[in-house]
Chain A
Amino acid sequence: MKRLKIIWLIGISLFLLTGCWDRRETNDLWVVTGVGLDQTEDGEIEVTVEIHSPNSDGGEGMGGESSQVGGNKMIHQTGKGISIPKAIEDLDTQLPREILWSHTKAIVINKALAETGIREELDFLIRHPEPRLRSYVFISEGSAKDIMALLPPLERSSSEVLIELAKSEVLMKVTLFDLMEMLKGESDAAILPMVDKLPPEEGEQPLETNAYINQSAILKNGKMVGSIDDRLTRGVLWFRDEIKEATVTVQPENADGLISMNLIKGTTKLIPEIDGNQLKMTVQIETIDDVIQNKTNWDLNEIEKQRILEKELAEAIETRLTDTLEIVQKEMKADIIEFGEEFRRKHPEQWKGIKKDWEERFPSVEVTFDIEAKILRTGQGNVPW
């Protein structure tokens, strides 16, 4: 009797512990690494997926454009429909295998779609249990499909290039989560990196080129309202305390050439102040730089010269930031530099009154700079002139 019981138990476990209902074998899956979302001219949504085929004989003759780069196969496929899920359904009919979304690392949205609003599209990406909050989001100048279809010379796939670009943090790096946080913020403005294709080298196939980030898109209420170039983007990065890479070149007074400096460390603190009806913001910046090129005949080891250089550096940063404010604060009126958040954190009581008409009051915020620049090293060698 007891033995029978044990056999029963083992039998039941054998059947139930396999978890076969939700099994997913790798050779039944297609792993999506990048997604492109396009709005076509007739208002439909196009979803382009970049699939990294796990085995080389998987995608043969499936109708997708496939390419052989370094033994890996990238497949691009596009589905069309009135909404993302519809487009994905269309996509499913074209693909013989189940799509695995959980490795999606790059999401590219084209400009037309961004201009009509991305909030609704984000909803899909967040509701879906698979896409990761860490995927990087980009806006493409042209169609996202074209960006996805590129065959970069060095990297495995186009989405790989995009991921590396974002990670290098030269310009904006925005993950899906960052985007959500920005869209949920007090000011309802967001900034996203914009990608475009590099013109291909002469003699190369038109598709054999990289995508690159050259500007940033500004969104208000989830809709794209404009873009700023790389110089201003770095200004925004300064304000957001996200600056990682920056090179400043100055020509000091009474010097006969240019001196370039590279950022080692930069930290920004925003100190909001409310003076009656006037909102004030002090931008406190501390930065440490290294000299990387000296075209003058200055001896940079003189303390006197270093002082001058430090002053020049601070001024150069200030000019950049003022230029940024000119566009972002005065023209676009988009609070992507998170002044609103700072006011809310420091002055929660007054903020309640300000919040309603923040959009009108944001451009009138008085900004003062307090920049402390230090030059740490002047390089290993010193060319004697």
Chain B
Amino acid sequence: MIEKGKISASQMSVMMYHAIIATGILFIPKTVFDAAQQDIWISPLWAFPLGLLSVYIAYKLHKLYPDDTIMQYSEHILGVFFGKVIGFILLLLLYTSISVMVWQYGEFVVSEFLPHTPKYVVIGMMILLCAFAVHGGLEVIGRLSEMVFPVFFLLFLVIVVLLLPDIEIKRMLPVMENGIMPSVKGSLALYTWFAQFGIIYFFFPYLTNREKGMKWGGISVLAVTITLVLTNIIVILVFGRVTGNFTAPLMSAARYISIAEFLSHLEAIVMAIWIAGTFIKICVFYYALVLGTAQWFNLSNYRSLVLPTGFLIGVFAIQAFLNSAEASEHFHEVSHGLTDTLVYGLIIPMFLLSIAYIRKMKIFKQKGREKK
């Protein structure tokens, strides 16, 4: 195997938690609010099964080919040529997806905090840091995410608690004003995030305790759902109908905190947890991309690919969109129209799984015939 390191199932769970939630807590409230209005806190509950399904399919495939990642078993299932084609599509989607994440990171840091710093510095430093982590291998990323998690969660809770004086229950009412549909529609936007759980298929083969993979995957999905529900509740209770006016409502909420006039201007806390989380998120996807690429080329070592891939990601992230209008066009067309994460997180694995089952049945039938 290319990757010699091993992580525990709980480490994988924490990694996936960060990989989904990092950008989620900032941008999800606003994205969902457009459709769900004051019911945004219900939407994650509808998206929960989809996340679980992504993990489940990846786990099923892992059961069939316990030592392989998706890049390898796609070749087993579809044959070398079609397997490579699927692998290529997968890598391409992963590559654009992570570049967009990096772009989002750079854009947010520059627009909110460092308006005069050139974006390539912000992006470049992040990629450099991630390249270090990815070069260190899976174990390093796993441990890093374990380290980041308590800080992340604690600071998140601090923000929530400090916002409590400003909440007003009536902002949440009436619950389900227009029935169940708005919150379901809101959850469509969430699928983009929850489908990313699919990339768990890159990590299953490297678990020390494989039998616990599904359990911890499920826990991760649950933790993400709970965090999102909490985020959305606090945002809606603080901002109510104004939520839609902010690109990153949690950020604005943290800014809004003012306890006894001296405890204020706390947006740096949100920024800190967000950067820590995004770092893990980028690492996880970056690692998946590098590993996948190495396996696609049948290389014996993926480490030589780390820097070139990072360079490509950086270039794409800087060149991706000229302005925020172009970016929102992209999110509209690709993330919600083409649903790229849904394709690589759910549709491709599902496709592979069904082919694998059909082939298996054929093999059984053949064997049955031979016996006769």
Give chain A's interface residues, CB within 8 Å of chain B. Answer: 16, 19, 21-22, 102, 126, 129, 132-134, 177, 180-181, 184-185, 341, 344-346, 348
Contact, CB under 8 Å: B255 / A345: no
Cα A2 to Cα B158 with chains together (Å): 41
Give chain B's interface residues, CB within 8 Å of chain A. Answer: 111-118, 121, 125, 170, 173-174, 177-178, 239-242, 245, 252, 255-256, 258, 265
* A-B CB proximity, top 6 nearest: A21-B117, A22-B114, A348-B177, A348-B174, A345-B173, A184-B241
Residues of A within 8 A of B114 (CB): 19, 21-22
State whether A180 and B245 are in contact (beta carbons under 8 Å apart), knowing that A102-B265, A345-B173, A348-B177 are contacts in the complex: yes
Contact, CB under 8 Å: A129 / B117: no
Contact, CB under 8 Å: A132 / B255: yes
Chain B residue with the shortest CB-CB distance to A17: B125
Please name 14 further chain A to chain B contacts, defined as beta carbons within 8 Å, in addition to the given A177-B242, A180-B245, sorted by A numbering: A19-B117, A21-B117, A22-B114, A22-B115, A22-B116, A126-B245, A129-B112, A132-B256, A177-B256, A181-B240, A344-B174, A345-B170, A346-B174, A348-B177
Residues of B within 8 A of A341 (CB): 170
Residues of B within 8 A of A126 (CB): 245
Cα A200 to Cα B79 with chains together (Å): 91
Cα A132 to Cα B111 with chains together (Å): 16
Distance in Å from the Cβ of B264 to the closest Cβ of chain A?
A: 8
Residues of A within 8 A of B125 (CB): 16
Residues of A within 8 A of B265 (CB): 102
Contact, CB under 8 Å: A345 / B174: yes
State whether A21 and B256 are in contact (beta carbons under 8 Å apart), knowing that A344-B174, A345-B170 are contacts in the complex: no
State whether A21 and B245 are in contact (beta carbons under 8 Å apart), knowing that A134-B256, A345-B170 are contacts in the complex: no
Residues of B within 8 A of A177 (CB): 239, 242, 256
Chain B residue with the shortest CB-CB distance to A183: B242
Cα A383 to Cα B359 with chains together (Å): 101
Residues of B within 8 A of A19 (CB): 114, 117
- CB within 8 A of B118: which of A21, A180, A345, A348? A21
Distance in Å from the Cβ of B61 to the closest Cβ of chain A?
A: 40
Pick the most buried of A102, A134, A185: most chain B CB atoms within 10 A of its CB.
Answer: A134
Distance in Å from the Cβ of B263 to the closest Cβ of chain A?
A: 13
Contact, CB under 8 Å: A21 / B121: yes
Distance in Å from the Cβ of B273 to the closest Cβ of chain A?
A: 19
Residues of A within 8 A of B174 (CB): 344-346, 348
Residues of A within 8 A of B252 (CB): 133
Pick the most buried of B242, B245, B252: most chain A CB atoms within 10 A of its CB.
Answer: B242
- CB within 8 A of B242: which of A22, A132, A180, A345? A180
Cα A181 to Cα B170 with chains together (Å): 13
Cα A22 to Cα B112 with chains together (Å): 12
State whether A185 and B241 are in contact (beta carbons under 8 Å apart), knowing that A21-B121, A102-B265 are contacts in the complex: yes
Chain B residue with the shortest CB-CB distance to A180: B242
